[in-house]
Every structure is written in structure tokens, then in C-alpha cells.
Structure 1
């Protein structure tokens, strides 16, 4: 089978987004206040495992349930613990002006690598509305934008032609791809202007095998070194190594999304890293049945990786 032709004009931004990024959970204590000590220890542990960088205040971090001052405090802790590793910051909202203003405020306090920006939730704008929304924000953004196509959360998909138009803007550099359309993913990778990151954990293998830049993977809070090795093997076209790792991790990845993220991941982190198994309402901890299945899958994968 002939190799898939890729763009000879891949953006230089591609390297800025390569590798494994962790969309951080936000630990809470029993009173549902942010547990900054647990967050600091988590970031330090992940940093030592060889990840490329972090995403803070994203959907995995329950950012929609944090007040702005709580988000700022989370970012203070993450940046202090991340050291030299880059941090992307999630920002969202229904209107371009306030979203851009929030970005400008954050960029004055933090060295933002990129802002992770989804479509406005609930509103379901047309594709022209999405185009206007993203371009208005990009024109005012103080740091690069990584768009977040996640129709399961926002109710609207950023269609391929819209993404190709948005790729023309110099501030729009990357895409967290949760669109679920592998052919569109391949087209964007081949186009070369956006750094495409797998946003659905189950799509890490095909996205990177097609030439994607990296992955933003919530399940990689767990067995992190194996995920780092997987992403590196795919980038280096060491297919057999990548396939072996993928087969070991697949069951755990699936269970991490059997109930609403980040409940399953937090359940295991409570066992492994000493975080409280707390989510902010209306989110709810994983069911005891799923927690047991997760623990069994984790121990099985851990044993296979040790062989």
C-alpha cells in the first residue's frame, strides 16, 4: 500500500505541540475546595514521567465549575509545579469580547503556551457563526489558540471546511480533535497548517499514526510512562512497540470514559496518588462497580508492562 502523502508545508508550530499533554484534574478536599497540595504533587509526579506539557482549567479539570479566582489559584499552583514545561490554559464563553478579555487578563499573569478554546456551549451557532467567533477572538488573543472540537460537550461540530479556513489565521495554531471523523483528521494533518492533537484517548493510535503532532489524554494520568513511550514510538514510526503498548492500555482507556470524565480517573488517582475522590456537584464520583473494574484493569496493565 502506498504511503499517504503529507503536506510539504507543515507549519513550524507543529513542534510546539508535539508529544503527550496531560489535561489536569483539579483535586478537591472533602469540602469541595481546591486541594492545592495534591495538585502540586500530581503535577510534580507527571512532570517527572516525561510528559510534554499540561492543560490546566480544561473540561477534565472541571473548569466550568470553578470560579474565576479559583481558576487563577489553580494556575498559580500548576505553573509553580510545572517548572520549565509549557502549560495550555482552557478558556471558554459565549461571547468573543469577554473571552478575549479573559485571555488578556490571564496572559498578564502567566506565560501561556496556548489557549485551548472550544465553541460556545449550548448556543449551537452556524458554521459562519463559529468562524466569526474564533476569528474575532484570534484577532485579540495575546497568545496562540488551540481550538477544541468537542461536539459531545458543546453541541456543535467545527466542520472540516471551517477548520481549514481558520487555519489561515496566524494565531490559530493547533486543534484538540474530538470530532470523531478520522478522514477529516487525516485531511487536516495532510494540510499541515494546524498541529493536530488527539483529544479522544481512544484515537491516540490512529491520529499519531497518520502524522498527528501529539495527544491530550486524560487517561494518561495513569501509567504515564507507558503513554509517554506510546506517543514517542508512534512519532518515531516504531510501529510494533507502539502496537504492543496500545494493546496493553486499550482496556484501561475505555474504562476511563465509561462514566463521565473525570470521575473514573479521579477514582483511580484516589487510590494511587492520595487525592480525595471528590468532584464538584453536579458531577458525581464513579460507581463502585466501575471503580473495581478500573482497578483490575490498571493492575493487569501494570503487570503486562512489567514483563
Structure 2
């Protein structure tokens, strides 16, 4: 086993957990999704992850999810990878979504651990293996226990890594030691799912990030990885620190990332639209705070 992530991560290094644009009336905005996808890829994103947490997957239909993959695939062509979120709390439903994403042109799948029912580790393992066995696409495990209520334990991930199509992890566990344990014992590509960990995880062999904040500042986050790759650790650390106030404002101020991203993109004139209920839009005070952090970063 190697002790670092592969030299060429399966989906690229700088991935954006893209929002799902809606019209002002709440319908899926495929034209907006294509324009936003092109914007993000043109500004440094190697890949786009659709229908994840930031993509409001709980409130989009199966048909909308497939249509989104098709539209974004058309917009970005072979310039970027397209990873489709297919995780649900129902193995049968997850299998259906995985097959539809494959038909729609996705390059890979993102599978969150089943939520609410809190399955034990052997059931989690069986769930992921059932999907990996049934489709031909590479799978990224999405470990975000703060939302699902269930951790994918490191030993479970290590066992799952033996499957040839389970190739990556999006890590939102906030357990940096566990991430390093898995990195040391597998060839999995480990992606930071929390933007405050982008550089830290990359520095110990991570593959890169799957970032919510990249919806707003794709070039600035990509620059962190580029500086580290160039061997300039002080510059990469400085760039990560500069981004920290915006990361905090967007991800740790009490509002979901989909809400803060859409608020900022709307102010910047980029496709976004409203969030779907039960989420509610950010208030004016919150928007002004987000804009202040954004402008501070952009001012250098």
C-alpha cells in the first residue's frame, strides 16, 4: 500500500460541491446550471459534484437529478469530471439513482451514509457494496456524521477500500487522525469536505477538496493547492488563512452552505435562485456579512 493519495486523483484535485440553481418560482434551472458549471470549470475546478448536501439533494426529484447530470455533462464536456450524489437512506432507491446517474453521463458517484435509520457498521458496509457491485462507475464514500447520525468508521472504510470501484472518500468527519489512519492503510483518494481542512488534509496525502466555498471563490481555493504543489508551503498557508474568514462566514455562522452560497451568488449576478423549503433564504444582515467577508478576500 502507498502512504499517500494517488498522484492523479480519480476526479481531479479541486472539486466544487455545486449548488442546484432554481428559477425564482422554484423550478430546476438547467440553463443556469450549465452557465454556473462553465463558470466554475473555467476558473479552476477540476470536477463538479452534483446533488450533494450543497446541491439540496433532499428536495430534488429523481428526474431532476438525472436532468442536472445530463445538462452539466453537456456544458463541461471532458474539461471536468461530473460526480453525481446518489446517497439516500434506502438501498433500493440509492441503486436506482446510481443507475440513472450512470445513464445520464456521470463519471462517478457520491454516496452518503444512510441517514435517520442509523444502520450499524455491517449494514453500512453491505449498503455501499450493493451499489458498487451493481454499477460500473467509481464510488466516493461521503462521511458526514453530523448530518447523517452515523459515522463510517475508519475500519469500515479500510475494508470497503478493497472493492475496486470504491476509490475515494469525501471527509466531513472532523476526525483528522482517522483520515490519516485510512490514508496510511489504503490507496483511497481522500477529499476534504470541510473547507478549513483543504490544505491540512492535502499536506498529509489527501487528494484535494470537494468544496462548498468553491462555488463563490474557485480560483482562490485552487491557488492554495497550486502553491503547495509548487513547493511553496508558506504561500499556500497564507492563502488558506486569507480564505478562512469567508469559510467561517459561509460554513460556521448558523446557516447551511446552500443558503450562504446562493445568497452570495445572487449578489454576484451568477445563477443561483432561491433555496427550496424547508430551507429559507438568508436575511439582509447575513447577506451583508457574507459580502463583507467575500470583499475582504477579493481585496487581497
Q: Tell me which interval the TM-score lies in, with the shorter structure as reference length.
A: over 0.9
Cα distance in 1 between the residues matched to 2:241 and 2:75 = 32
- Cα offsets for 1:52-84 (capped at 9, x unmatched): 111111111111101111112212221111121
Is the CA contact (8 Å cut-off) linking 1:14 and 1:194 kept in structure 2?
Answer: no
128 and 235 in structure 1: CA distance in 2 versus 1, 3 angstrom threshold: farther
SS in 1 for 2:173: coil
Is the CA contact (8 Å cut-off) linking 2:5 and 2:205 kept in structure 1?
Answer: no
Cα distance in 2 between the residues matched to 1:28 and 1:104 = 24
Which among 140, 159, 164 is matched to residue 158 of structure 2?
A: 164
190 and 237 in structure 1: CA distance in 2 versus 1, 3 angstrom threshold: farther
SS in 2 for 1:22: strand
What corresponds to 2:198 in structure 1? 204
- Deviation at 1:88? 0.5
- Cα offsets for 1:242-266 (capped at 9, x unmatched): 0111111000011111211210111
Is the CA contact (8 Å cut-off) linking 1:17 and 1:214 kept in structure 2?
Answer: no
- Moved segments of 4+, more than 4 Å: 9-14
Is the CA contact (8 Å cut-off) linking 1:208 and 1:235 kept in structure 2?
Answer: no
Alignment map for 1:3-82 (pairs within 5 Å): 8=2, 15-82=9-76
Superposition RMSD in Å: 1.7
Is the CA contact (8 Å cut-off) linking 2:5 and 2:206 kept in structure 1?
Answer: no
What corresponds to 1:99 in structure 2? 94
Is the CA contact (8 Å cut-off) linking 2:213 and 2:250 kept in structure 1?
Answer: yes
- Deviation at 1:9? 6.3
Is the CA contact (8 Å cut-off) linking 1:30 and 1:276 kept in structure 2?
Answer: no
Cα distance in 1 between the residues matched to 2:89 and 2:42 = 37
Does residue 218 (structure 1) correspond to residue 218 (structure 2)? The answer is no
Is the CA contact (8 Å cut-off) linking 1:211 and 1:235 kept in structure 2?
Answer: no
- Deviation at 1:113? 1.7
What corresponds to 2:144 in structure 1? 150
- Deviation at 1:8? 3.2
Query: Greater CA deviation, 281-290 or 294-303?
Result: 281-290
Alignment map for 1:225-244 (pairs within 5 Å): 225-244=219-238
- Deviation at 1:145? 0.6
- Deviation at 1:287? 2.4
Does residue 302 (structure 1) correspond to residue 291 (structure 2)? The answer is no
- Cα offsets for 1:5-62 (capped at 9, x unmatched): xx53657585223411011101111210112222221111111112111111111111
Q: How many residues end up aligned between the 2 structures?
A: 297
